Structure 1
């Protein structure tokens, strides 16, 4: 989906215009993740991040709390048993 935004120049001047679309996408993804609208895996798919570690690094870089619950722990334990 494409969305057109009218942004004030006083805001846009603080951003690299070549990266503005990506910056807005990342900010929206962070907000959606923090409000639990999307999952860790969806963060990776939406942003094209290739691994769980890349997603963790991205979220940590942006000071987003990592949601890690018992289900995640169980999956990780099962993966370790298989490996």
Structure 2
């Protein structure tokens, strides 16, 4: 089973990146599972040369979200504030 991540929305379309195959697919927003948002990780199945979303990989999505939040916390902790002085 392949996995893809919802990279961005372009109007009524969603761009899903499949890193493993270095491909991207574009689907209509209406074809996405409920609660899909940027950085959601989908389970994909390839049939007849086309990918089909079979569901959301909740575990992978939650892990990626937690990792991203942790990295942001680390960056904020390193920040020593703005280099500009307030007047």
TM-score in same-fold range (> 0.5): no
Q: Which has the higher helix share?
A: 1
Whose RCO is larger (CA < 8 A, sep 6+)?
A: 2
Q: If you compute each CA radius of gyration, which structure gives the higher value, 1 or 2?
A: 2
- Using the size of structure 2 for normalisation, the TM-score is 0.26
TM-score normalised by the chain length of structure 1? 0.27
Structure with higher strand content: 2
